[in-house]
Structure 1
Amino acid sequence: MIRWIVFIIIFILLTFYGFQAIKTVTKYSWIHYLYIAIAIIIAGNFIYQFTGASEGRVLSPIKSYAFGFVLSFMVLNLVSTSVLFLEDIIRGVFGLYDKFIAKREVFYFPERRKFVSQIALGIAAIPFASLLYGMYRGKYNFRVLNYTLHFEDLPNAFDGYRITQISDIHSGSFDNKAKIEYAIDLINEQESDLLLFTGDMVNNKASEMLPWKESFGRLKAVDGKYSVLGNHDYGDYVDWDSPKEKEQNLEDLKTIQKEIGFDLLLNESRFLKKNGERLALVGVENWGKGGFKKAGDLKKASQHIEADDFKILMSHDPSHWDEEVVNDAYHYHLTLSGHTHGMQFGIEIPGWIKWSPVKWRYKHWAGIYENLGQYINVNRGFGYLGYPGRVGIWPEITVIELKKGKKEA
């Protein structure tokens, strides 16, 4: 109850300030009433969806949109409030000057200036429009990102070997079958040797994947499809009626993955063989820092491989790479992760800037990183969760080509 009171107070304060800008810019009363009505509808729907629905903590598409609209509206008001608050400070200073320095008998507080409110709304419109665009188009703006990584000890038979990685499907959030079918076709068009999925197939429940089984069953790769579990796959964020029901949900998800064609690695390894040489593929269950499930067991997963094997590790959470993988006795040449989504919001201009607020939480949050001769790719995610959109950090299909030898300078 307290958190809802805090939310309502903050929402009202931000809306009040934003309303000041609207009122200053236009004198049409119907626009004022419309603005207030929109605020009430957005806040009311958000509160209803998150208190009156029977799904508990399950984040359905309807809930996601309720959150997306309240977020967009609050950002609009927050940005405009920042400008107006600065103006209020200046107005206050002038008022105090007139009262105590100029000795004016009556305290005079200057009126808001229309052009300042126009500037405030103009600036605020940029993130507001971006968030709306992210919900309308950005969440399905799939990008194929290609990387070439060089290894001196790569087996000759795997020189030029191509791996497609996808991560964080979050099928419970999807609302457009045509866009998903397009993405599946895009993945298949890469014609990679291997397809790897690094966890979070669903938001909470295995049943979320049922409408999408046929679509993802069309995924193909020459040497097969492999997967691991992410933190959302265990059903930890649902209020289950019993532990048995939760266990059955996980078993159902494992069955669905098998039916789709994925070989699910649960702290296990496989060997990919080619012309008498082999590559070790290792998959751990979720291991995450900061309160996330630590079911991953790297030692167990690697017990059947040799120290001199070329190793590719699938581990959903990149914090596992920092905490355990890099300094392990074994040398894991390439780790594939996801989890962060790049926060679904940021700015990326290749060669110029790469930024997202998630960088304050995760050291490695998107793209390729290297440490001690070992690489990790953090996939930005295929789907979305929470905010039903993406701004600047687009859904990703990663294609990594392995090359023998050193990278040319």
Structure 2
Amino acid sequence: MLSRLLIPLVLLFVIEIYAFQAFRTVVKAKPFVVSYIVVSALVLAYIIYSFTQFDRKIGQTPQTMQTMGLLLMVYLPKIILTLVLFGEDIYRVGYGAINHFANFDDNTNFLASRRKFVSQIGLGIAAVPFLSLIYGITTGKYNYKVIKQAIFFPDLPDAFDGFTITHISDVHSGSFDNPDKINYAIDLINEQNSDMILFTGDIVNTHAKEMHPWIDTFKRIKEHKYGKYSVLGNHDYGEYVSWPTEADKEENFQNIKKLYGQIDFKLMLNEHTFIEKENDKIALVGVENWGTNFKKVGDINLASANLDKDDFKILMSHDPSHWDCEVKNHPNNYHLTLSGHTHGMQFGIEIPGVIKWSPIQYIYKQWAGLYENMGRYIYVNRGFGFHAYPGRVGIMPEITVIQLKKGKNVA
């Protein structure tokens, strides 16, 4: 146990030393320096204490989310300070070595003093994630964006040209703390007046009871002419806590499945249905969770039994890694897959047409927005709620409105 903690403790010590040096180089007044040391020690003690209180039988709580937010808010800036000052140390050592060998009798110190302007630059850079994370916790997590996406298909049945779908995912109701903001988001959903609404899983963090205070709120999602359908996400299976018995886990799972019906969504469990409009129809396929790193209970073949290759198909599958591994090259031809799961890591930079980046892209090839492979598409929703970190920076909560169009994609 101690050996596993040794490296993190050493890194933490190094980070604290460098951050203190940056602060001490810029601020000379002793009361401020002492205050910095006391506050840093108290924050560290609180973080350590909070993590030691984590109970795997309970799972994520408001306290653990607050602790994660505090951890990121304090130590991400300090890590940046460490990198800046470590870079300066490389320069100081190199300069000192050159000066030492070039001036054998020079009595000056081998290492030059830290330069104030370098610490000022480091503190300025560190302020950016610090302020961003505060924004993410106080405002960003409820800064809902309606994203509209038209997708063209040459073989779309004529009657569905212009058909609209509202897509939501990753509600994580156990994280909510502001009823007014959630009601505002439900109003946004209703304002879209789509033909159909699809929900691609993760209604809770772990426990069915997390959704109970929000059932009436989500029942406000109005009826859509062509239905309200959903699938399960990885968090809906209760995999991330320790249960007293398997019976308790199964009871929770059954209660979670009932939640979807309680908010008037038809839960699809490895099955399909036909959506009919005029004389045409499309197949809506819903699978249970299938992920490369998470529970694999989705069965696309079972869900598509008796469907023909030429049937126009929309697949709901929570985890986009399913599309990348099984769906995009499947001989049964799934025209459009709707997923979520990644949340865009709730952290990144998105400027349309300029940059789209998040650390999650190094784990998931398809992590936010629309992707295409040989005329088959996946849309990955950035998520309605939040989890672990109680905020969003750069990657905002999303309500997607997809319009199906007949023809070739002009993009």
The one-letter amino acid of 1:279's match is I
Partner SS, residue 169 of structure 1: coil
Shift of 1:11: 2.4
Residues 187-196 or 2-11, more deviating: 2-11
Contact 1:98 1:107 in 2 (8 A): no
| Distance in structure 2 (CA, Å) of the matches to 1:408 and 1:370 | 13
Instruction: Report % sequence identity.
Output: 54
Residues 229-238 or 385-394, more deviating: 385-394
Verify: 1:303 aligned to 2:305, yes or no. Answer: yes
CA RMSD, Structure 1 to Structure 2 (Å): 1.6
Query: TM-score, normalised on structure 1?
Result: 0.96
The one-letter amino acid of 1:359's match is Q
Partner of residue 123, structure 1 = 125
Partner SS, residue 371 of structure 2: strand
Residues 86-95 or 325-334, more deviating: 86-95
| Distance in structure 2 (CA, Å) of the matches to 1:312 and 1:106 | 73
Shift of 1:304: 3.8
Shift of 1:119: 0.9
Correspondence for 1:360 among 351, 355, 362: 362
Residues 332-341 or 89-98, more deviating: 89-98
Q: Deviations over 1:293-349 (max 9, x none)?
A: 110000100114332221100000111111111121211111000111111111111
Partner SS, residue 287 of structure 1: coil
Partner SS, residue 274 of structure 2: strand
Gaps in structure 1 of 5+ consecutive residues: none
Contact 1:381 1:396 in 2 (8 A): yes
Correspondence for 2:252 among 239, 249, 253: 249
Residues 310-319 or 269-278, more deviating: 269-278
Q: Deviations over 1:250-296 (max 9, x none)?
A: 1001111111101000001111111132111000000001x311100
| Distance in structure 1 (CA, Å) of the matches to 2:283 and 2:207 | 31
Gaps in structure 2 of 5+ consecutive residues: none
Residues 153-162 or 179-188, more deviating: 153-162
Correspondence for 2:266 among 254, 259, 263: 263
Partner of residue 29, structure 1 = 30
Partner of residue 243, structure 2 = 240
| Distance in structure 1 (CA, Å) of the matches to 2:23 and 2:58 | 36
The one-letter amino acid of 1:346's match is G
From the superposition, tell whether residues 19 and 56 of structure 1 become closer, same or farther in structure 2 (CA, over 3 Å): farther
Correspondence for 1:347 among 332, 342, 349: 349
Partner of residue 19, structure 1 = 20
The one-letter amino acid of 1:29's match is K
From the superposition, tell whether residues 278 and 146 of structure 1 become closer, same or farther in structure 2 (CA, over 3 Å): same
| Distance in structure 1 (CA, Å) of the matches to 2:191 and 2:43 | 41
Shift of 1:41: 2.6
The one-letter amino acid of 2:246's match is P
Partner of residue 281, structure 2 = 278
Query: TM-score, normalised on structure 2?
Result: 0.95
| Distance in structure 2 (CA, Å) of the matches to 1:175 and 1:8 | 33
The one-letter amino acid of 2:134's match is L
| Distance in structure 2 (CA, Å) of the matches to 1:120 and 1:138 | 25
Q: Deviations over 1:79-109 (max 9, x none)?
A: 1111111212222233333433212246442
| Distance in structure 1 (CA, Å) of the matches to 2:402 and 2:279 | 23
Contact 1:198 1:314 in 2 (8 A): yes
Verify: 1:316 aligned to 2:297, yes or no. Answer: no
Partner of residue 151, structure 1 = 153
Partner of residue 100, structure 1 = 101
Correspondence for 1:400 among 391, 402, 409: 402
Contact 1:149 1:402 in 2 (8 A): yes
| Distance in structure 1 (CA, Å) of the matches to 2:177 and 2:12 | 28
Residues 188-197 or 124-133, more deviating: 124-133
Partner SS, residue 272 of structure 2: strand
